[in-house]
């Protein structure tokens, strides 16, 4: 947490320089940590674990339940539903391109995909397992998991550390390059419409790219206060200030309402919007961000142009073959 706070402080002091001339395309590969190189065996195992609901206490909720890779990488709910129909207070972030986040979760409490993968499994509202020891015991009891773990990590490899490494390795393959925006920046000037180009220029002019910068439009691991400009009417209507953000974890009042800057990639597919999923449409989200972050009132035409540009950030989704999970013939965990 001290590292997170140092990052917040450093970024808060950084000069707000326009990056309009530094539009970047999305890489087709994500960097991996030194202790978890991405290999086909890890990815294969990680995809199995990601889609296996038996990592939850009820055997009904998997990672993919809230982060659906058949759609926008989340569940299009205001608040995700976990075991026994419970719901939390935040909207699920997209897993697509999450490999390019410096920190994970809305409050940035996880410094890596590996750390993030460990959290929901034992969260009582999300997947509900009592401990990772129970998770490991369950995986060891499923005979078909021994071989893929051994293939990925060696003998006697079923462990929390290896399970989260495998899930993270799979998630690093979930990249959506070659959006119309990427093609435009790469030289195909017909890839974006005139309206989308106007929206792109307006995004830079307004200063949206001060936070939503870089190839994933999520900044260099930035945290940002939301809302920046208090407005009692809008905050009350959308319950924006109820969640204290980073302060929920750090317990430091100075961190209140600090949130990780989310990616704008594929944002057209990830409604509803904001940390609490309170905003149903993209045009309303654009209007509110202009008011609450920039103090700007946009015209309907400006909003429409920006929304058109944001639609141009929808990339190409890699084809995936769903895994066949190892069975437990003649028995169940529930």
Q: What is the pTM of this model?
A: 0.93
**In angstroms, rounded to a whole number, what is the distance separating the alpha carbons of residues 150 and 179?**
37
Instruction: Note the pLDDT tens digit of each residue in 173-222.
Output: 999 999 999 999 999 999 999 999 999 999 999 999 999 999 999 998 77
Cβ neighbours of residue 268 closer than 8 Å, sequence gap 6 or more: 282, 310, 311, 313, 314
Confidence of residue 6 (pLDDT cuts 50, 70, 90): very low
**In angstroms, rounded to a whole number, what is the distance separating the alpha carbons of residues 148 and 281?**
42
∠ at Cα 171 (166, 173), nearest 5°? 105
pLDDT at 12: 40
* 240 membership: H or E segment, kind and range: none
Residue pair 35/112 in contact (Cβ under 8 Å)? The answer is no
Residue pair 18/210 in contact (Cβ under 8 Å)? The answer is yes
Residue pair 93/262 in contact (Cβ under 8 Å)? The answer is yes
Instruction: Note the pLDDT tens digit of each residue in 162-183.
Output: 999 999 999 999 999 999 999 9
pLDDT at 122: 98
**In angstroms, rounded to a whole number, what is the distance separating the alpha carbons of residues 24 and 213?**
9
Percent of the chain with pLDDT over 90: 90
Cα 280 off chain centre by: 18
Mean of pLDDT values over 132-157: 97
Instruction: Note the pLDDT tens digit of each residue in 256-281.
Output: 999 999 999 999 999 999 999 999 99
Instruction: Note the pLDDT tens digit of each residue in 49-105.
Output: 999 999 999 999 999 999 999 999 999 999 999 999 999 999 999 999 999 999 999
pLDDT at 147: 98
Which domains occur in the chain, in start order?
A: 2-26+177-311 (1.10.760.10), 40-171 (1.10.760.10)
Note if 29 is an active site residue. no
Q: Is the peptide bond before 16 cis (omega within 30 degrees of 0)?
A: no
Cβ neighbours of residue 137 closer than 8 Å, sequence gap 6 or more: none
Instruction: Note the pLDDT tens digit of each residue in 21-46.
Output: 479 999 999 999 999 999 999 999 99
Confidence of residue 304 (pLDDT cuts 50, 70, 90): very high
pLDDT at 8: 46
Burial 193-203 (b: 16+ CB within 10 A, else e): bebbbbbbebb
Q: Catalytic pick from 114, 126, 171, 302? A: 126
Confidence of residue 11 (pLDDT cuts 50, 70, 90): very low
3-class SS of residue 93: coil
């Amino acid at each position: 947490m001290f590292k997170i706070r140092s990052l917040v402080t450093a970024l808060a002091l950084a000069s707000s320089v326009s990056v309009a001339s530094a539009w970047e395309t999305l890489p087709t590969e994500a960097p991996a940590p030194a202790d978890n190189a991405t290999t086909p065996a890890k990815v294969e195992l990680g995809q199995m674990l990601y889609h296996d609901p038996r990592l939850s206490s009820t055997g009904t909720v998997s990672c993919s339940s809230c982060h659906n890779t058949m759609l926008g990488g989340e569940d299009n709910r205001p608040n995700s539903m976990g075991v026994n129909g419970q719901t939390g207070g935040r909207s699920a972030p997209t897993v697509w391109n999450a490999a390019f986040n410096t920190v994970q979760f809305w409050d940035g409490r996880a410094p890596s995909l590996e750390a993030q993968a460990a959290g929901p499994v034992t969260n009582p509202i999300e997947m509900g397992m009592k401990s990772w020891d129970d998770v490991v015991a369950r995986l060891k009891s499923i005979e078909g998991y021994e071989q893929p773990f051994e293939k990925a990590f060696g003998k006697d490899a079923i462990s929390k550390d290896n399970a989260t490494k495998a899930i993270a390795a799979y998630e690093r393959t979930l990249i959506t390059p070659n959006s119309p925006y990427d093609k435009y920046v790469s030289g195909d000037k017909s890839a974006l419409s005139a309206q989308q180009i106007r929206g792109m220029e307006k995004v830079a002019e307004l200063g949206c790219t001060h936070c939503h910068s870089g190839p994933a439009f999520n900044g260099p691991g930035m945290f940002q206060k939301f809302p920046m400009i208090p407005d009692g009417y809008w905050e009350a209507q959308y319950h924006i200030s109820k969640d204290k953000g980073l302060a929920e974890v750090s317990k430091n009042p100075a961190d209140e309402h600090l949130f990780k800057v989310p990616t704008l990639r594929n944002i057209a597919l990830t409604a509803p919007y904001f940390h609490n999923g309170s905003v149903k449409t993209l045009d309303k989200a654009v209007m509110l961000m202009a008011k609450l972050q920039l103090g700007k009132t946009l015209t309907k035409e400006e909003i429409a142009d920006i929304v058109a540009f944001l639609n141009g950030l929808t990339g190409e989704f890699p084809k995936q073959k769903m895994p066949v999970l190892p069975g437990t013939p003649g028995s169940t965990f529930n």
